[in-house]
C-alpha cells in the first residue's frame, strides 16, 4: 500500500480500487455502499425528501476541534437539519492532490465516519479523483445529503412575521476564528476550538417543544449577519437585533478585533439561527438550552414591521447601526 | 458585474449572492432551486431511490463535443441510468479558481442547464466555493444525483451468469482520446469528438425490450476493460471477449497506438456495457440500435464458467490474452 496519493489513484484502475476498498469502504462500510455499484439504492419513508450539497476547501485541513472530514459531514447534516429534515444518507466526493499522504487521508476519512455515526447518517456512495501536485491543497471534499421530512412541517425565512423572536443556539464565530488562528497568521494564542457539530439533535428538541418554528438557518459563511439579512429580504420585514444579547466568546471578540472583522460575519459550523413566534421565544430557548449544543442559546433580536429589508443592530453604546451583507472576503477558505 | 471570479465570490456575502443569482439561478431556474434555501425539498414517487455522485476535474475545461458542465450532468445521469433509475434531481457543487473568467463559468453553466433539460433532470441545489489562484484549474464541479427506481428491477454485475452476452452500446474511447488530443500533447489531428451524452433514454429502450437485463455499467474511467473485470470479479465468472467485435473508431485506434494505450482502457462518457441473458442478446442489440445513442451497439463477448475472475480477449491474430485492471494513469484528468 502506497504512502502517498499518486495519479494512478484517480485513473479508475487497480490503484483506484485498492484505495476505495482499503481507505473509503473500510471506514464508511455499510450495506448500501458495500456493493460499490454506480449508485446506492434505498427507500425513504415519508412523503417529502430534502437534498443539499456543499463542497469543503478549508485550509488548513486539520484544526483545533475538527478537520475537513467531520466538517464535511456536519455541514451537510446541518443544511438538512435546519430544513426540517432528518438526515439519512450522504455522498462523499474527494478531489485529492497527488502526493497527499494516505495517512492524512485516512485520518480525514475516519473523522467523517465518526461524524456520520454521531449524526446517525450513512455515507452510501462516493467518488475519488486525483489532480496533479499543486492543483489542490491536499484534499477537497464534496458531500451531498438526503433527508426525509416527517409530517407536514413547513419552514422558510420568508415566513418571518413582525413580532417573531430571533434566537441563536450558542456563541458565534468560534469556527471561523479557530481557522484563522490555526493558520498562524495572527500572533495570538487563544483557547478556542471549532464549533463543528451535527445540529439534527438540537433541531429535533426545538421542533418538539415549539411546533410553530418559522425558519432555521445554520450560520456558516457570512455568519449570523448574513442570515438576518436573508430573513429581512425574504420576508420583507425589518430585523432589529441587539449587540449585547449576541453571545460571543471573549477570545472570538478579541481575535475579531485584531482581524478587523465584526463577529456577526464570522462563520460557525454548529450554530443555528431560529425564527419563532414571539410568544414561543422562551419555550424555544429553554428547549435549546436543554441540549448540549444549545446550552448558550439566546434571543438576539426580533422581527419588526418597519424598515423592511433592513437589519439594524442596537449597539453596546446605545446607538443603532445597519448591518448589511458582507463585502469582500475577510476570512477566506474557512469551510 | 465582475469579469473574473474573486475570493469574495466564495465568502458568502454580497458577491456570493450576486453570483448565485446572476449566473447559477439564472441558468438552472426551477421552483425547487428558486427559494435558495438550505436544501431542496421534493417528493419521490415509487419505493426505491438511487443516489450517486461524481466530481469532475477534466482538463481542458472545453473540448470538442462538450465541456466540464455537460460532462458533469451526463456523468451523474448515467450512473443513475445504469442503476435502473430514472434520474430526477441533481446537485451542483462548484470549486472555482480566483481569476476564472465569469464568461467561461457562464458557458459551463449554460451547458449544464442544456444537458439537464436534455436528460429531463433539474439542478435543485448547489454550492459555490472559491480557492486562490493556482489552487484549481478554473473550475471543478461535483454533481450528485437522485433517481427513482420504477418497479422491482434488480441489476448488479454480481448477477452475471455463464451464457450471458456482453454488449457495448457503441464505439469506445472517443471521450478519452478527444481529451488527450484537445491538450495538444499529441501531434495529430483527428476528426473526433467526445461521446458525452445522457444514457437514460437508451437504457429505457433497452429495459423495455429486454426485461431480464442483468447489469449495466457506464464505461467511464478505466474503460470497458475495467467493467469486464468488475463483472468477472463480482459474479465469480470468466469473461471472454473478442477484440474484433469491439467497436473502435479508426481515429481512436490510431491515437491509442501513438499513446501506447489499449482502447479497451480508454474512458467513454456516453457508452454503456450491458450483461443480458444469451437468448436476449439479439433483442438487446436491436433495441439499442433503435436509439440514436446505441446505433453502434454490438455483442463483444460472453460470460463463461471457466477461469472465474479472469477476463480473456480473443485477439485479432487468433490468440488469447488476459485483460487485467488498468495499472498507472495513462490518461490523467479525462473526467
Ligand atoms: N471516496 C469514496 N468514498 C466512498 N465510496 C467511494 C469513494 N470513491 C468511490 N466510491 C465508490 O466506489 C465505486 C466506484 O466508484 P467510481 O467513482 O470508480 O465509479 P464511477 O462513478 O462509476 O466511475 P467514474 O467516477 O469514472 O465515473 C462506487 O460504488 C462509489 O460509490
Ligand atoms: N453553484 C450553484 N448552483 C445552484 N445553486 C447554488 C449554487 N451555489 C449556491 N446555490 C444555492 O444558493 C443558496 C445558498 O447557497 P450557500 O452555499 O451559500 O448556502 P449554505 O450551504 O447554507 O452555506 P455554506 O455553503 O456556507 O454552508 C442555496 O439554496 C444553494 O442551493
Ligand atoms: Mg459508473
Ligand atoms: Mg451549507
Ligand atoms: Mg465516480
Ligand atoms: Mg446553510
Ligand atoms: Mg461515474
Ligand atoms: Mg453551500
Q: B140 and A40 in contact by Cβ < 8 A?
A: no
Q: Which stretches in chain B have pLDDT values below 50?
A: none
**CB proximity B2 to A under 8 Å:** no
Q: B44 and A41 in contact by Cβ < 8 A?
A: no
- Relative orientation angle of helices A102-119 and A68-81, to the nearest 10 degrees: 30
Q: What is the pLDDT of residues A267-283, one digit of tens each?
A: 999 999 999 999 999 99
The pLDDT > 70 percentage for chain A reads 100
Distance from CA of A258 to the nearest CA of B (A): 19
Which residues in A lie closer than 8 A to residue B55 (C-beta atoms)?
93-95, 127, 129, 142
Q: What pLDDT is stored for residue A188 in this prediction?
A: 84
| Test the A interface: residue of B13, B149, B154, B217 with most A CBs within 10 Å | B13
Q: Three-state SS string across B229-281, please?
A: HHHHHHHCCEEEEEHHHCCCCHHHHHHHHHHCCCHHHCCCCCCEEEEECHHHH
Which residues in A lie closer than 8 A to residue B95 (C-beta atoms)?
55, 57, 95, 140
Q: What is the interface size between A and B, counted as CB pairs within 8 Å?
A: 269
Q: A50 and B41 in contact by Cβ < 8 A?
A: yes
- For B24-45, b where at least 16 C-beta lie within 10 A, e where not — what string? bbebbeeebbeebbbbbbbebe
- Nearest-angstrom CA–CA distance, B263 and B180: 13
A301 grid coordinates:
433580536
Residue B8 three-state SS: helix
Question: Which helix (H) or strand (E) element contains residue B103?
Answer: helix B102-119
Counting ligands in written order, the one closest to the CA of B218 is: 3
**CB proximity B260 to A under 8 Å:** no
Rounded distance from Cα A69 to ligand 5 centre (Å)? 19
- Nearest-angstrom CA–CA distance, B60 and B104: 12
* CA-to-CA separations, A167 to A173, A272, A293, B104, B234, in angstroms, rounded: 15, 8, 14, 41, 53
Q: B129 and A44 in contact by Cβ < 8 A?
A: no
B140 lines ligand 2 (CB under 6 A): no
Radius of gyration of chain B (CA): 21
Which residues in B lie closer than 8 A to residue A217 (C-beta atoms)?
38
Average pLDDT over residues A176-201: 93
Q: B40 and A55 in contact by Cβ < 8 A?
A: no
Q: What secondary structure letter does DSSP report for A270?
A: S
Residues 157-176 of chain B whose Cβ lies under 8 A from any Cβ of chain A: 157-158
- Nearest-angstrom CA–CA distance, A259 and A263: 10
Ligand 1 atom showing the smallest separation from residue B52 Cα: 31
Q: A51 and B135 in contact by Cβ < 8 A?
A: no
- Nearest-angstrom CA–CA distance, A272 and A249: 16
Average pLDDT over residues A123-146: 96
Torsion angle of the four alpha carbons B91, B95, B100, B103, in this order, in degrees rounded to the nearest 10: 0
B94 lines ligand 2 (CB under 6 A): yes
Which residues in B lie closer than 8 A to residue A82 (C-beta atoms)?
38
Among A287, A289, A307, residue whose Cα is nearest residue A297: A289
Distant-in-sequence, close-in-space partners of A279: CB < 8 Å, separation ≥ 6: none
Superfamily of domain A157-322: PurM-like C-terminal domain (3.90.650.10)
- Nearest-angstrom CA–CA distance, B206 and B189: 35
Residues 115-154 of chain A whose Cβ lies under 8 A from any Cβ of chain B: 124-127, 129-132, 134-137, 140, 142, 144-147, 149
A188 grid coordinates:
495570538
Q: What pLDDT is stored for residue B113 in this prediction?
A: 95
Ligand 2 atom showing the smallest separation from residue A218 Cα: 22
Task: Enumerate residues with CB within 5 Å of ligand 6 (an ion).
Answer: A 79, 218; B 38
Which residues in B lie closer than 8 A to residue A42 (C-beta atoms)?
48-49, 51
First to last CA, chain A: 30
Q: What is the pLDDT of residues A236-270, one digit of tens each?
A: 999 999 999 999 999 999 999 999 999 999 999 99
Q: What pLDDT is stored for residue A151 in this prediction?
A: 84
Q: Which residue has the higher pLDDT, A114 or A187?
A: A114
- The H-assigned helical ranges of chain A are 14-19, 26-28, 68-81, 102-119, 174-182, 200-209, 223-235, 250-259, 281-289
Q: What is the pLDDT of residues A5-16, one digit of tens each?
A: 998 999 999 899
Q: What secondary structure letter does DSSP report for A4?
A: B
**CB proximity A43 to B under 8 Å:** yes
Q: What pLDDT is stored for residue B209 in this prediction?
A: 97
B116 grid coordinates:
439537464
Q: What pLDDT is stored for residue B160 in this prediction?
A: 97
Rounded distance from Cα B9 to ligand 2 centre (Å)? 12
Q: Sign of dihedral through CA atoms B130, B40, A52, A228?
A: positive
Domain boundaries along the sequence of chain A: 7-149, 157-322
- Nearest-angstrom CA–CA distance, B268 and B172: 6
Task: Measure CA A206 to chain center.
Answer: 18
Q: How confident is the model at residue A189 (pLDDT cuts 50, 70, 90)?
A: confident
Q: Is A152 a residue whose pLDDT tops 90?
A: no
* CATH no. of B7-149: 3.30.1330.10
Pocket test for ligand 2, best of B128, B130, B139 (most atoms within 8 A of CB): B128
Q: Is the peptide bond before A243 cis (omega within 30 degrees of 0)?
A: no
Q: What pLDDT is stored for residue A298 in this prediction?
A: 98
Which residues in B lie closer than 8 A to residue A269 (C-beta atoms)?
none
- Nearest-angstrom CA–CA distance, A310 and B331: 53
B167 grid coordinates:
454488449
- Helix, strand, coil share (%) of chain B residues, nearest 5: 35, 25, 40
Q: What pLDDT is stored for residue A186 in this prediction?
A: 79
Amino acid at each position: 500500500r502506497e504512502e502517498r496519493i499518486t495519479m494512478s489513484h484517480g485513473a479508475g484502475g487497480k490503484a483506484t480500487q485498492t484505495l476505495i476498498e482499503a481507505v473509503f469502504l473500510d471506514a464508511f462500510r455499510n450495506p448500501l455502499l458495500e456493493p460499490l455499484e454506480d449508485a446506492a439504492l434505498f427507500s425513504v419513508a415519508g412523503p417529502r425528501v430534502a437534498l443539499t450539497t456543499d463542497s469543503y476547501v478549508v485550509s488548513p485541513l486539520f484544526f483545533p476541534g475538527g478537520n475537513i472530514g467531520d466538517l464535511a459531514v456536519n455541514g451537510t447534516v446541518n443544511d438538512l437539519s435546519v430544513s426540517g429534515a432528518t438526515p439519512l444518507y450522504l455522498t462523499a466526493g474527494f478531489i485529492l492532490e497527488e502526493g497527499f499522504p494516505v495517512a492524512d487521508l485516512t485520518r480525514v476519512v475516519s473523522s467523517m465516519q465518526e461524524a456520520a455515526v454521531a449524526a446517525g447518517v450513512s455515507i452510501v456512495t462516493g467518488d475519488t479523483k486525483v489532480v496533479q501536485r499543486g492543483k489542490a491543497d491536499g484534499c477537497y471534499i464534496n458531500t451531498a445529503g438526503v433527508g426525509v421530512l416527517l409530517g407536514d412541517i413547513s419552514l422558510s425565512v420568508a415566513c418571518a412575521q413582525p413580532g417573531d423572536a430571533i434566537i441563536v443556539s450558542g456563541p458565534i464565530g468560534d469556527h471561523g476564528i479557530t481557522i484563522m488562528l490555526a493558520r498562524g497568521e495572527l500572533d495570538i494564542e487563544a483557547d478556542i476550538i471549532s464549533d463543528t457539530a451535527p445540529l439534527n439533535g438540537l433541531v429535533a428538541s426545538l421542533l418538539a417543544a415549539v411546533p410553530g418554528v418559522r425558519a432555521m438557518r445554520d450560520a456558516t459563511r457570512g455568519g449570523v449577519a448574513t442570515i438576518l439579512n436573508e430573513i429581512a429580504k425574504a420576508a420583507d420585514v425589518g430585523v432589529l437585533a441587539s449587540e449585547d444579547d449576541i453571545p460571543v466568546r471573549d477570545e472570538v471578540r478579541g481575535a475579531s478585533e485584531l482581524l478587523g472583522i465584526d463577529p456577526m460575519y464570522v462563520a460557525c459550523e454548529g450554530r443555528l439561527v431560529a425564527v419563532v413566534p414571539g410568544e414561543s421565544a422562551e419555550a424555544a430557548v429553554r428547549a435549546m438550552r436543554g441540549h448540549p449544543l444549545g446550552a448558550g442559546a439566546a434571543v438576539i433580536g426580533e422581527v419588526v414591521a418597519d424598515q423592511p429589508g433592513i437589519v439594524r443592530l442596537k449597539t453596546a453604546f446605545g446607538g443603532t447601526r445597519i448591518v448589511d451583507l458582507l463585502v469582500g472576503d475577510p476570512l477566506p477558505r474557512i469551510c
